[in-house]
Amino acid sequence: MKLTSEEKKMAEGKYGNAVKKSMEILIALGEIYGAEKLVDVTSVQIAGVSYDNLGDAGLDYLDELAKDGKVRVLTTLNPAGMDLENYKALGIPEDFAVKQKKVIEAFAKMGVVTTCTCTPYLVGNDPHFNEHIAWSESSAVAYANSVLGARTNREGGPSALASALTGKTPLYGMQLDEAREAKVKVKVKCKLDGTHEFGALGKAIGEKVKAKPTLIVGIKEATVDELKSFSASIATYGGAAIFHMKGITPGKTKTPKEEIVITREDIDKAIKEMNMDGEIDFISVGCPHASLAEIAKLAELLKGKKVKKEFWITTARPTKRIADQVGYSKIIEDAGAKFAADTCCVVAPIKGRFKCLATDSAKGCYYAYSKNQSKIKIMPVKKLVEEACK
Ligand code: F3S
């Protein structure tokens, strides 16, 4: 890989140990994937923030880099293992909390903006069309490539951190036009409504075409919340890093020859597969993290009611702060639902606490079942609130 003289100095250790180690990671990655050179990035999002995933070895690695490492571009984090302010009410053990705080402190020492969210694009880490970036969280990667039109591979936690500390990423894969071209056309022949149905669409397409980039036609409109649900789902069930939705997303692509059709039966089948027998004891909204619009809707639905089941709304702390300011949080909390800010029910250590999760998120269903061995049910948000109040 060709390096500039500045990049050579970085690799030789002239800018300290953290930069040197980071360059080793980026050069190794670039060589594996045949990148000709590094490019500058403008934004980073780092996954692998939960102490549940990192363990002590991960924490030691972060402490080592934090001795002399400082981020060079705007960098935010993926959800942590707990809400740093509200973890006691959410039943997170104190020994876990101590370790999780140390993880966040190490990132803060490096200059990372320690808001922990899978929707960085809703809280100011919002790159625009064609910018090279290095993001890790799969739903955010699909959203960034497809809806924002920025360019990112699906980075691992260490490679994203390496990009943050150097401001560079190897030029390969989703950073280049070729890999972004659609390989399969998907004709959607039914009307979709709501985050749960867009999640079901992502499952139906993902399972059929796997990670191939798609050109999706036939969808007349989609909200930001529906697109984030779809991005999460197509990345989870298929591994896709990009899709093109005709008339809705900004990128250009040729029309592929291979074509599949998605009908109402496919959506209903996907929804049926995410509805298991079981008595709901946990309800969660906000996978990917809830937007202000979703929180406003929840406040409207929960006004004057009382929930009778554990009910979490997972969101980014800055979004929660606005919800506090305009009064949505009070309505929601008066109804007995709880905010879990900067965390989510997949990365939080809650395995075994609940038997059956109800959510509007297809991605949430996948991980609740596969990681936490919980039964699952998917339904629209309005129905979730009705279930919660039964
Ligand atoms: Fe975000 Fe957690 Fe869902 S990271 S996409 S809320 S599984």
Helix axes 94-109, 51-66, angle to 10 degrees: 40
Whether residue 205 contacts residue 186, with contact meaning beta carbons closer than 8 Å, is answered with: yes
Query: Does residue 355 register a pLDDT over 90?
Result: yes
Predicted confidence (pLDDT) at residue 329 exceeds the cutoff of 90: yes
Domains and CATH numbers, the chain: 5-177 (3.30.499.10), 181-272 (3.40.1060.10), 274-388 (3.30.499.10)
Helix (H) or strand (E) holding 378: strand 375-378
224-236 pLDDT, tens digit each: 999 999 999 999 9
Query: What does the pLDDT read at residue 347?
Result: 87
Closest C-alpha residue for ligand 1 atom 7: 346
Of ligand 1's atoms, which has the minimum distance to the CA of residue 47? Answer: 4
Q: Closest Cα to atom 2, ligand 1: which residue?
A: 344
For residue 348, is pLDDT > 90? no
pLDDT of residue 251: 93
Whole-number Å distance, alpha carbon 84 to ligand 1 midpoint, is 17
The per-residue pLDDT for range 80-130, each reduced to its tens digit, is 999 999 999 999 999 999 999 999 999 999 999 999 999 999 999 999 999
Per-residue tokens: 267 = 């959506």
Number of the ligand 1 atom closest to the C-alpha atom of 140: 5
- List C-alpha distances in Å: 343 to 52, 140, 197, 268: 12, 15, 24, 30
Decide if pLDDT at 349 tops 90: no
Please determine, for residue 255, whether its predicted confidence score (pLDDT) is greater than 90.
yes
Distance 287 CA to ligand 1 centre (A): 5
Average pLDDT, stretch 274-301?
A: 98
What residues line ligand 1, using a CB cutoff of 6 Å? 78-79, 118, 137, 139, 232, 287-289, 314, 344, 346-347, 363-364, 367
Of all residues in the chain, what percent carry a pLDDT higher than 90?
97
Instruction: Tell me the best of 344, 367, 371 to mutate to test the pocket of ligand 1, counting ligand atoms within 8 Å of each CB and taking the most.
Output: 344
pLDDT tens track for 1-49: 999 999 999 999 999 999 999 999 999 999 999 999 999 999 999 999 9
Sequence-distant (≥ 6) Cβ neighbours of residue 215 within 8 angstroms? 182, 184, 185, 186, 243, 244, 246, 253, 255, 256
Output the pLDDT for position 235: 98
**Quick check: 312 and 338 in contact, CB under 8 A?**
yes
Cα 255 to averaged position of ligand 1 atoms, centre (Å) = 32
Calculate the average pLDDT of the chain.
Answer: 97
**Ligand 1 pocket mutation pick from 291, 363, 367, 369 by most atoms within 8 angstroms of CB:** 363
